[in-house]
Each structure stands twice: as structure tokens, then as C-alpha cells.
Amino acid sequence: MGLQIIPYNTKFDIVGKKNIIFSILIAVAVLCLGSIFIQGFNYGIDFKGGLLLEIRTHESITDIAKLRADLSSVVMGEVTLQEFGSPNDILIRVERQPGGDEEQLTALAKIKDKLGTSVDYRRVETVGPKVSADLIRNGIYAVLWALVAMLAYIWFRFEWQFGVCSFITLAHDSLIVLGLFALFQLEFNETTIIAVLITVTYSINDTVVIYDRIRENLRKFKKLPLGELINLSINETLSRTILTSTTTLLSLLGLYFFGGPVIAAFSLPIIVGITAGTISSITVSAPLLLHTGLRAEKRSED
């Protein structure tokens, strides 16, 4: 017999507590929306624009943190360094400097002077405000189209009630991740969009498992009240949901604590997103079906 964290015969009354759960999650959603509209996002280089340099050093760089500090001393704003390919290849991103093109060229000259002559410049680009605005718009489109695609899939795979409830759940999960960045003023960059999309993907995975069990039980227990049937389905899949999420979170926690600052910044929103997605799959996506007239339609069909 496999590992069973949650006993198979559990009888948690999720549906009975749905009003309390919904109230808490609505309050969290309002807090996140308020943070987004009042504080806004702390946009990173990807959205603000700036300088992008791809360099190859003659010798491997052993202390990335020192190089970052050296470059930060000659320019204003954020400086990020990323290794790619070999240890000699470094991608440098510098936040757009206050002023126009002349200030950007001055900053570029200071960076080159600080790096010295022992590097080869493979690529030097200036990311302007227009490109940044396009990136913001495309990021919004990516998230919206992902939600719409999930709605269409669930609608086709199950029924419209399941599609609508999953859409509401996924939108809530995405809002929590975005609210995290606004509330704590974490750097909002292209990896944020990736974190939101991962959250949506993971959340729908857990939701589909529960929905599939609900559909099976609708055929098996035709006279069972819908609230009891949903509770039964949630409890039957609870161990699988918790085990899957726990193993994923353990891996992400390892990346967060031991992967360094860059990996940690990427892992944190995914940790929050997967946690939110798991909770909402259990406590929101299924109980919402009670408000869609699902059982009434099923009875009319039968």
C-alpha cells in the first residue's frame, strides 16, 4: 500500500465551511487588488527598459556578486548578472538611467570602463520604453489567453459549470501571485509572468482531478445531495492532491533556500502560487459548483 498522508476515509466538511472559506479568500483578493491599484508594481529592467550587454570574459568569473557590486557603483538603479552557456559568458542588465539617450550612452561608457579590456562584447542593446510597454501588454495577453484556454478546455472536457468555476478559481490564484508582488514591492519582471502561468497550469491540474472524481460520482450516486457528493469527491482525492503539492513544494523550497538570490526570487512566487492553487482547488473550485445548478441539469438529463 502506498504512502497515505490523509486517511482514505476522511470526512472533512469543506462544503459546510464554504461561506467562511469564501469570505477569507474574497478578503485576500480585495487586499491584493488594493495593493495593485494603490501601490502598483515595482517594475524591473524588463519592463522599465535599460541596457543589455552580453559579454565573454577571457577568464572565468568566480565572484558574480563582486562584479555586480562593482557595476552598481558606477550606475544608478538595478544591475542584474546572469551566467549562460559557459562560465565565461555573462548577461548584464542595467536599469534605464534617468534622462535621455545621452545618459544611457554615458552609463554604457562607465560600464565598459569598469569591465576593462579583458572582455569581448557579443551584444550591446538599449531597451527603450516602447519595447517595455509592448512586453507588459504581451504579458497581460499571455495570462488572459491562458485563462480563456483553460476555460474552453474544461468546458469541452466536462460541462460549462466546471469551466466557469475553474476560470474563477484560476483568476483568483493569478491575482494572489500578482498581489504578492504589489504588496511586498518585489521586482516585477518577465519571470513574474512565467510564475503566474505556472500557477495557472498547476492549479488546473489539481482541479481537473477533483472534477473528474465529481463527474464519476455524479453517475454513481444519482440520489446523493450535491453538497455531500462534492465533499465525498474532495475527500477521496485529498491524499493525492496533498502528496503531489507537497513533493513539488519540497523541490521549490530547496531551490529557494539553496539556489542563490536569483533562483530564490524566481522560486518564491511559484511557491506562493502553487500553495494558493492547491488550497483553491480543494476549497473553491468544487464548492462553487453548488451555485451553478449542476445537479438539476444532471437530473433532467437522466
* 39-86 tens-digit pLDDT: 888 877 777 777 877 888 877 776 777 878 888 888 887 777 777 667
Return the pLDDT at 10.
77
Return the pLDDT at 243.
85
Return the pLDDT at 5.
63
Average pLDDT of every residue of the chain: 81
CA 272 to CA 269: how far, in whole Å?
Answer: 5
Cβ–Cβ under 8 Å, residues 199 and 276: yes
Q: Which of 258, 269, 234 is nearest to 21 (CA)?
A: 234
**CA triple 179-180-181, angle to 5 deg:** 90
The string of pLDDT tens digits covering residues 186-243 is: 888 777 888 888 888 888 888 888 888 888 888 888 888 888 888 988 888 888 888 8
Return the pLDDT at 300.
44
The string of pLDDT tens digits covering residues 103-133 is: 778 888 888 888 777 788 787 777 766 656 6
How sure is the predictor about 30, in pLDDT bands with cuts at 50, 70 and 90?
very high
Return the pLDDT at 113.
83
For the chain, what are the domain ranges? 15-43+131-301, 50-127
Share of the chain above pLDDT 70, in %: 91
Overall fold of domain 50-127 = Alpha-Beta Plaits (3.30.70)
Calculate the alpha carbon distances from 33 to 57, 61, 106, 130, 192 in Å: 45, 43, 39, 26, 17
Return the pLDDT at 226.
85
Return the pLDDT at 23.
92
DSSP-derived secondary structure letter, 50: E
pTM of the model as a whole:
0.76
How sure is the predictor about 296, in pLDDT bands with cuts at 50, 70 and 90?
very low
Calculate the alpha carbon distances from 25 to 21, 41, 175 in Å: 6, 22, 11
Return the pLDDT at 7.
67
CA 269 to CA 118: how far, in whole Å?
Answer: 37
Rounded to a whole number of angstroms, the distance between the first and last alpha carbons of the chain is: 37
CATH class given for the domain over 15-43+131-301: mainly alpha
